Amino acid sequence: MIVSLECKKLKRTGFKAAFFGGGILAAAVPALNMAFRSEAYLSMDAPPVKILLNANWQMMAMLNVLLIVAGACILYHIEYADHAIRKMRTLPFSESAVFFGKTAVLVSACILLLAIEAASIFGCSVHWFGPAAGLYREILKNFGFFLLLMLPAILLSLAAASVCRNMWTALGTGVVCVFAATMIPAQNFALSLFPFALPFRTFSDLSGSAARNYAIAGAAETVGAAALAILILKIRRSFE
Amino acid sequence: MNIIETQNLTKTYGDFTAVSGISLHVPKGTVYGFLGPNGAGKSTTMKLFLGLTQPTGGSFVIDGKRFPGGRVQILKEVGSFIEAPAFYGNLTGEENLEIIRRILGLPRSSVADALELTGLTQHRRKLAKKYSIGMKQRLGLAGALIGRPPVLILDEPTNGLDPVGIHEIRSLIRSLPQQFGCTVFVSSHLLSEMELMADNIGILNHGRLLFEGTLDDLKSSAAAQGCPTGSLEDTFLAMIDADNRQRGGAR
Amino acid sequence: MNFASLIGVEWGKLRRSKIFLILVLATVILWTPSVLNSELNFGMQAEGISPENNFFIQGFLAMTWFLFPAVMIVITVLQIQTERTDHGILKMLSLPVRTTKLCMAKFAVLVLFAAIQILMSVGTYYISAAVASHIQSYDFLLPPLFVFREAGMIWASSIPMLAVFWLLAVCIQTPIFSIGTGLASIVPSVLMINTKAWFAYPMAYPFFVITSEYGRLAANFSTAEIDLIPWLPTAALITAACLTVSCLRFGQAERR
């Protein structure tokens, strides 16, 4: 029920359109890149999905993470803008239920985003590299991996947005986190586990064990971020 | 002499008419009560006076200045308080008034004067977002009264105040024409309040002006129309009801 | 009321906004990796750039490509939300000040914040360079005249970009669209600076200026040169168009 309520609250905020538009924009990145520089990529000796993701994922991931930050800000901005949160707090359900309802909405929006991007990678792959066996599986594995690695950033962005009454504070914090993620060298495993840096990793570019380590880290950070969010909500409640 | 005059002032939003060809006459140095139920068009009329919305038809003059050419000149002479109090929550009450003072080019003492007039002096250093509803209302009023402008446009100024606060603000408004020679155009849906405050009243319903004149004129007009005249509230309700029935019939 | 006083009023409205905390945090995150990885500056023989120039340019490249534009978007959100949260804008519109002047004063505050952010980066650069000099026993400090000239160039070249962000903030009422469009517009900068049409994309200007400087400082690394024609007329046209539309649209939603 809470998820459908959260969806209703988002009416006329442009949330769905923003994620749809963001997905289209991110999907356009590999298509345009191939349209202009196909010779450079076609001459590479690697699986098409790997070539396409290596060439475009950094930019696509950047758009995704920025959308997550902006989406999280809006999800809580609607609560704070006209003090709706005060009413929510007087209703018989916990604030963490609201938080996880919003998380479910943001995760669903990210699934839509990734689905559009996956369709684009699939289309580019078939159009420029020709049909290949196991393409579906490869794309599913990659995008499933992306979704898992996005979860910590989703939860932390929402946690920041839930704390900040003013949207710019949450947005500013998110922007600084995204920037910090772009500064982290991929070679440094420990640093690349920074939650906002995880969505930049690609499955096809990692060895089996490295991919497993990232997946474990992603799952662990998701649990940790959820626990942190609950703690933040509890602490804040006791201070109000 | 009328300080505010409108001629067939009209405002429509799509096919909805919020203000329908009203002609108001507000004499200088008086308190003019603008009465009407919720949604009658009171706030829209006041917003038109402040240039917060553009008229669809008709015109108005405030202190000899015609809109839209004299908008900035009009605003220099008008202190206003429209709908909910408008302020910056991250600033203190005093800092909020300081912004208005600087824009109006008033002396520094005017902030303390406005705070004093509205009883906010001891809360002046508190953040506006931490004010109670009544205090926010007072801050809005202070923003209108600052510099003691010749014309005051106040939209339901006693909303959210406790009985003591209502009495204080009402007495303040009542005293303004004598004290500072200003004209007050004040809206309300509370009849009892208007009876104690206003020299002249205008009654608005569904954007149309049903009556304009003094309270005595209202009583005689109501009696002529067969409406009860026992209390202003009864008269008002009967007039609104008659108008609503007439409008219903017309449909 | 004169324009300078109005800028003062607009500046005053942003008190207690915690924006400086975000600016400081951003600058610290920008320069800390440069200090930690300062030894990497000695391995740039292939590019042919001196360690001190590389230290400076890498930091400012990171700043201009994403951090600086993104923080500017955050400031537009701060400015717009400050007006909207408790309807302060309604009070402003009912005061005797022209909306055009009000809109331009807010833009001036944005431009001022851009200067502050750049100056903070310059200050942090000097602290970081001093620390790196101490760690590596090598003088990373560049002459202030050079550093401030570059800072001035970044600031001046960012004005058209700020005008676009201000236009987005004023014209797009739905916050997610104005924020999303702004942030999304930064991402392609890295592609745009490599195209011939870079001068038509204001979000790429500060990044282009620094990339171009990188090309000048690195003997073996060539980047596009800045051609003032058609850049300056295009930039002036974009700025004028964005500010004109912003001034016309400012406060329209509240005056319906």
Q: Do B86 and C89 touch (CB under 8 A)?
A: yes
User: What is the rounded radius of gyration, in angstroms, for the C-alpha atoms of chain C?
Assistant: 20
Q: What is the mean pLDDT of chain C?
A: 91
Q: pLDDT tens-digit profile of B84-112? A: 788 898 899 999 999 999 888 899 999 99
Q: Do B95 and C89 touch (CB under 8 A)?
A: no
Best mutation site among A171, A192, A200 for testing chain C: the one with the most C CBs within 10 Å?
A: A171
User: What is the rounded radius of gyration, in angstroms, for the C-alpha atoms of chain B?
Assistant: 18
| Residue A178 with chain C: CB contacts under 8 Å | 66, 70
The pLDDT confidence band at residue B134, using thresholds 50, 70 and 90, is confident
Tokens coding C134: 């101490």
User: 5-34 in B: which are within 8 Å (CB) of C?
Assistant: 13
Are B207 and B41 a contacting pair, CB within 8 Å? yes
Q: pLDDT tens-digit profile of B8-64? A: 999 999 889 999 999 999 999 999 999 988 889 999 999 999 988 889 999 999 998
Question: Residue B9, Cα to own-chain centre: how many angstroms?
Answer: 17
Q: pLDDT tens-digit profile of A176-230? A: 999 999 888 777 788 889 999 999 999 888 887 889 999 999 999 999 999 999 9
Find where tokens 């505050």 sit: C109
Per-residue CA distances from C175 to C171, C182, C242, C255 (Å): 10, 11, 19, 19
Minimum distance, in Å, between the CA of residue B244 and any CA atom of chain C: 27
Q: Which residues contact A144 (CB under 8 A, 6 or more apart)?
A: none
By DSSP bridging, strand B16-22 and strand B78-81 are unpaired
Each domain of chain C, given as residue ranges in start order, spans: 3-255
Per-residue CA distances from B70 to B73, B75, B82, C179 (Å): 5, 9, 20, 37
pLDDT > 80? residue C222: no
**In what helix (H) or strand (E) does residue A235 lie, and over which residues does it extend?**
helix A208-239
Each domain of chain A, given as residue ranges in start order, spans: 2-235
Find where tokens 């289309």 sit: A123
Q: Do B104 and C90 touch (CB under 8 A)?
A: no
Q: Which of B200, B155, B142, B199 is nearest to B50 (CA)?
A: B155
**What's the CA gap between A49 and A135, in Å, rounded?**
8
C168 backbone dihedrals φ, ψ, rounded to 5°: -60, -45
pLDDT at B251: 42
Q: Do C184 and A171 touch (CB under 8 A)?
A: no
Strand ranges across the sheet with B208-214: B78-81, B151-155, B183-188, B31-35, B200-205, B208-214
Each domain of chain B, given as residue ranges in start order, spans: 2-250
SS3 labels along B62-121: ECCEECCCCHHHHHHHEEEECCCCCECCCCEHHHHHHHHHHHHCCCCHHHHHHHHHCCCH
**What's the CA gap between B21 and B191, in Å, rounded?**
24
**What's the CA gap between C251 and C221, in Å, rounded?**
48
Please tell me which residue of chain A has the smallest CA distance to C177: A18
Please tell me which residue of chain B has the smallest CA distance to C1: B103
pLDDT > 90? residue B228: no
Residue A94, CA atoms < 13 Å, CB-side half-sphere? 8
**What's the CA gap between A121 and A33, in Å, rounded?**
11
**What's the CA gap between A113 and A26, in Å, rounded?**
8
Nearest CB to B143 within list C16, C91, C93? C91
pLDDT at A65: 95
> Where are the strands (E) in chain A, listed by range?
none
Q: Which of C224, C175, C178, C229 is nearest to C204 (CA)?
A: C224
Could you tell me the fold of the domain covering B2-250? Rossmann fold (3.40.50)
Are B17 and B207 a contacting pair, CB within 8 Å? yes
Q: Which of C178, C171, C180, C183 is nearest to A19 (CA)?
A: C180
| Residue C3 with chain B: CB contacts under 8 Å | none
SS3 call for B26:
strand
Please tell me which residue of chain A has the smallest CA distance to C58: A183
pLDDT at C46: 78
Q: Do C9 and B99 touch (CB under 8 A)?
A: yes
pLDDT > 60? residue B249: no
Cβ burial, residue B159 (10 Å; 0-12/13-18/19+): middle
pLDDT at B215: 85
**What's the CA gap between B92 and C229, in Å, rounded?**
49
CB contacts < 8 A, A to C, total 97
pLDDT at A161: 94
SS3 call for A198:
helix
Q: Do C13 and B52 touch (CB under 8 A)?
A: no
| Residue C8 with chain B: CB contacts under 8 Å | 102
- CA B75, B78, B84, B86 dihedral sign is positive
User: Among the residues of chain C, which ranges form H helices?
Assistant: 3-12, 19-36, 51-62, 68-85, 88-93, 99-136, 144-171, 175-186, 189-192, 205-217, 228-249
pLDDT > 90? residue C10: yes
Nearest CB to A18 within list C62, C78, C180? C180
User: Among the residues of chain B, which ranges form H helices?
Assistant: 42-49, 71-77, 93-104, 109-117, 133-145, 163-180, 191-197, 215-225, 232-250
**What's the CA gap between C27 and C119, in Å, rounded?**
10
Q: B62-73: string of b/e by CB count within 10 Å (b at 16+)?
A: bbebebeebbeb
| Residue C77 with chain A: CB contacts under 8 Å | 167-168, 171
**What's the CA gap between B121 and B117, in Å, rounded?**
9
**What's the CA gap between C151 and C145, in Å, rounded?**
10
pLDDT > 50? residue C150: yes
Q: Which of C252, C2, C86, C88 is nearest to B100 (CA)?
A: C88
Are B146 and B113 a contacting pair, CB within 8 Å? yes
- CB atoms under 10 Å from CB of C76, counted, come to 24
For residues B81-86, average pLDDT: 83
What's the pTM value of the predicted model, to 2 decimals? 0.89
Minimum distance, in Å, between the CA of residue C7 and any CA atom of chain B: 11
CB contacts < 8 A, B to C, total 84
pLDDT at A240: 65
Which residues from A are below 8 Å from C when comparing CB atoms? 13-15, 17-18, 21-22, 25, 59, 62-63, 66-67, 69-71, 73-74, 77, 81, 166-169, 171-173, 175-176, 178-180, 182-183
Tokens coding B89: 């929550």
Q: Do B104 and C93 touch (CB under 8 A)?
A: no
Q: Poorest-confidence range of B214-223, C50-59, C92-101, C218-227?
A: C218-227
SS3 call for A132:
coil
DSSP 8-state symbol, C87: B
Nearest CB to C94 within list B73, B82, B105? B82
**What's the CA gap between A66 and A24, in Å, rounded?**
15
pLDDT at B250: 47
| Residue C174 with chain A: CB contacts under 8 Å | 13-14
Nearest CB to A74 within list C29, C75, C175? C175
Please tell me which residue of chain C has the smallest CA distance to A32: C191
Subunits with 3+ Cβ pairs within 8 Å of C are: A, B
Please tell me which residue of chain C has the smallest CA distance to A17: C177
Q: Which residues contact A48 (CB under 8 A, 6 or more apart)?
A: A124, A125, A128, A129, A132, A135
pLDDT > 60? residue B127: yes
Are A103 and A155 a contacting pair, CB within 8 Å? yes
Please tell me which residue of chain B has the smallest CA distance to C101: B103
| Residue C102 with chain B: CB contacts under 8 Å | none
The pLDDT confidence band at residue B232, using thresholds 50, 70 and 90, is confident
Tokens coding B203: 């009654």
**What's the CA gap between A222 and A211, in Å, rounded?**
16
Are B111 and B98 a contacting pair, CB within 8 Å? yes
Question: Residue C245, Cα to own-chain centre: how many angstroms?
Answer: 21
Subunits with 3+ Cβ pairs within 8 Å of B are: C
| Residue C33 with chain A: CB contacts under 8 Å | 183
pLDDT at A94: 80
pLDDT > 50? residue C4: yes
Please tell me which residue of chain B has the smallest CA distance to C89: B86
Q: pLDDT tens-digit profile of C160-217? A: 999 999 999 999 888 888 888 999 899 888 888 888 889 999 999 999 999 999 988 8
Are B127 and B89 a contacting pair, CB within 8 Å? yes
Q: Do C96 and B104 touch (CB under 8 A)?
A: yes
All residue ranges of chain A with pLDDT < 50 are none
pLDDT at B4: 94
Are A170 and A72 a contacting pair, CB within 8 Å? yes
Per-residue CA distances from C22 to A200, B188, C132 (Å): 24, 45, 24
Q: Do C95 and B103 touch (CB under 8 A)?
A: yes
